[in-house]
Amino acid sequence: MLVYIDGQFYDEKDAKVSVFDHGLLYGDGVFEGVRAYNGRVFKLSEHIKRLYDSAKAIMLKVLISESEMIESVLEALRKNNLKDGYIRILITRGEGSLGIDPITCARSSVIIIADSLNLYPEEFYETGLAIISASVRRNSPDVVNPKIKSLNYINNIMAKIEARQAGVLEAIMLDRNGYVCECTGDNIFIVKNGVIKTPPVYLGVLKGITRDFVIEIARDLGYIFQEEIMTQYDIYTADECFLTGTAAEAIPVVMADSREISNGNVGEVTKSIIKEFRLRVAQEGWEI
């Protein structure tokens, strides 16, 4: 595998950053995850725009343009002969001192890794996931805004650890008032009485690119969609539940906190969303 670092490609064994990089020392940086399907990169422009927005929010200067970043992503896929895969783009603050002050970092650094990824085993797309509610609360917008995809993911990681300790793969994260925000790496949707619902972004929810795409699919398929504040009760009593994310795509949930959702089977609305999602991603996107 060849890894892009600041304009050059290195064999993965030689792809290195300084131990003084503030991305490593303090999680000072931002990232995006992008998917390629069938020789096309899905929603690449949207991911790059969000990446640069995240960088702007933390006053991190990116030394290449958005168009150069797009071309570098495509070249990383070409260099690795990947037509289907996952691309991780990182912008770090760069090498600096051991102090926290970012002014000591002379220049930012861009890293692009293109590889294969299967976040969840394929059988879970057929049978559904079990999830729990984590005790770790989601960062609120007045702490670290979840809209910033920063390299510091310890909030999500702590919730993921809880999920693993409970023997499941994912966890619901609540805000400080007990409202459902999202999962550790995915947005969450429910279906109730034929209406598809998801928490509003103002609660401290990442405005996921896959989330928005699924909302578009839902409307195109004729479903009613609503953003709505919800609690664990709404998850437990839903007719269906599913998660969305770049790596996860769209995946059903059939149990939450040991409570079966409806009859414990994957629902028809969820199946239709997944089917349409897979049809579209194979046909849309930037050609490699």
111-120 residue pLDDT tens: 999 998 877 8
In angstroms, what CA-CA distances link 74 with 79, 243, 255, 279? Answer: 9, 27, 39, 22
Q: Could you tell me how many residues make up the chain?
A: 288
The residue that leads in pLDDT, 287 or 161, is 161
3-state helix, strand, coil in the chain (%, to 5): 30, 30, 40
User: Residue 112 burial (CB < 10 Å; 0-12/13-18/19+)?
Assistant: buried
Tell me how far apart the alpha carbons of residues 193 and 150 are, in angstroms, rounded to a whole number.
Answer: 37
Fold (topology level) of 2-115: D-amino Acid Aminotransferase; Chain A, domain 1 (3.30.470)
Residue 7 has pLDDT above 90, yes or no: yes
* % of residues, the chain, pLDDT over 90: 91
Determine contact, residues 249/277, Cβ cutoff 8 Å: yes
Question: Is 147 in a helix, a strand, or coil?
Answer: coil
What integer pLDDT is reported at residue 93 of this predicted model? 98
Q: Which residues contact 101 (CB under 8 A, 6 or more apart)?
A: none
DSSP letter (8 states) at residue 186: S
Express each pLDDT in 157-200 by its tens digit: 999 999 999 999 999 999 999 999 999 999 999 999 999 999 99
What integer pLDDT is reported at residue 120 of this predicted model? 87
Determine contact, residues 63/108, Cβ cutoff 8 Å: yes
Domain residue limits, the chain: 2-115, 123-281
What integer pLDDT is reported at residue 119 of this predicted model? 77
What integer pLDDT is reported at residue 9 of this predicted model? 98
Tell me how far apart the alpha carbons of residues 69 and 7 are, in angstroms, rounded to a whole number.
Answer: 10
What integer pLDDT is reported at residue 203 of this predicted model? 87
Q: Which of 20-24, 125-129, 150-154, 282-286 has the lowest mean pLDDT?
A: 282-286
Query: Which residues are the active-site residues?
Result: 149
User: Number of H helices and number of E strands within the chain?
Assistant: 8, 16
Strands of the chain (E only): list them.
2-5, 8-11, 29-37, 40-41, 85-92, 109-115, 129-133, 170-174, 180-183, 187-192, 195-198, 224-227, 240-245, 249-256, 259-260, 286-287
Beta bridge partners of residue 250, listed in sequence order:
244
Express each pLDDT in 192-225 by its tens digit: 999 999 999 988 899 999 999 999 999 999 999 9
Q: How confident is the model at residue 241 (pLDDT cuts 50, 70, 90)?
A: very high
Q: Which residues contact 148 (CB under 8 A, 6 or more apart)?
A: 30, 54, 57, 58
Interval 86-113 mean pLDDT: 97
Interval 40-58 mean pLDDT: 97
Tell me how far apart the alpha carbons of residues 230 and 238 are, in angstroms, rounded to a whole number.
Answer: 11
Decide yes or no: CATH 3.30.365.10 for domain 123-281. no
Interval 222-250 mean pLDDT: 96
In angstroms, what CA-CA distances link 102 with 18, 93, 111, 203, 279? Answer: 15, 7, 19, 29, 44
Nearest in space to 49 (alpha carbons), one of 71, 72, 32: 32
What integer pLDDT is reported at residue 100 of this predicted model? 95
Interval 41-59 mean pLDDT: 97
